[in-house]
Copies of this chain bind each other. A is one copy, B any other.
Amino acid sequence: MNSLELAEALVKRSEVAEGDKKLVLLVMDGVGDIRHPSNDYRTPLEDADCPNLDDLAARSAVGRIIPVDYGITPGSGPAHLGLFGYDPRVVEIGRGVMEVVGIGMELEEGDVAARANFCTIQDDTVVDRRAGRPETRVSAEKVRLLQEKVGRIEDVEIIMQAGMGHRFGVIFRGPGLMGGVNDTDPHENGEPIHEARAEEQGQEKTARIINEFQRRALEVLEGGDPINGMVMRGFSGRPGIAALQERFGLRCGAIATYPMYRGLASLVGMGLVETGKAVEDEFQACLDHWDDYDYFFIHVKPTDEAGEDGDHGKKVEAIEATDEKLPMLLDAGPEVLAVTGDHSTPCSMKLHSWHPVPLLLHSPRCGADCAEGFTEAACNTGGLGIFRAMYLLPLMLANAGLLDKYGA
Contacts and interface: CB of A to CB of B under 8 A. Distances in A.
A368 to B, nearest CB: 4
A220 to B, nearest CB: 28
B71 A408 contact: no
A75 B407 contact: yes
A303 to B, nearest CB: 17
A395 interface: yes
A408 B75 contact: yes
A346 interface: yes
Interface string A73-117: 111111000000000111011010011001000000000000000
Q: How many subunits of this chain does the assembly comprise?
A: 2
B36 A407 contact: no
B405 A70 contact: no
A70 B394 contact: yes
Interface string A335-367: 000000000001011001111100000000111
Interface string A364-393: 011111100000110011111111000100
Interface in A1-48: 1-3, 6-7, 10, 34-36, 41
Contacts of A78: 406-407
A394 B66 CA distance: 13
B41 A383 contact: no
B367 A72 contact: no
A76 B365 contact: no
Interface string A174-186: 0000000000000
Contact of A72 (B10, B41, B95, B383): B10
A398 interface: yes
A85 to B, nearest CB: 10
Contacts of A130: none
A406 B72 contact: yes
Contact of A407 (B98, B348, B376): B98
Given A89-B2, A377-B369, A72 B408 contact: no
A397 interface: yes
Contacts of A398: 70-73, 353-354
A403 interface: yes
A356 B377 contact: no
Contacts of A6: 68-69, 72, 89
A78 B9 CA distance: 15
A64 interface: yes
Contacts of A353: 365, 398
A71 B405 contact: no
B368 A383 contact: no
B75 A406 contact: yes
A348 B403 CA distance: 17
A71 B7 contact: yes
A75 B369 CA distance: 25
A1 B92 CA distance: 10
Interface string A279-306: 0000000000000000000000000000
A214 to B, nearest CB: 22
Given A34-B367, A93-B408, A385-B386, 8 more contacts: A35-B369, A71-B395, A88-B406, A377-B381, A377-B383, A381-B381, A384-B386, A385-B385
- Give 7 closest A-B pairs by Cβ, nearest first: A34-B367, A385-B386, A71-B394, A71-B398, A70-B391, A75-B407, A35-B368
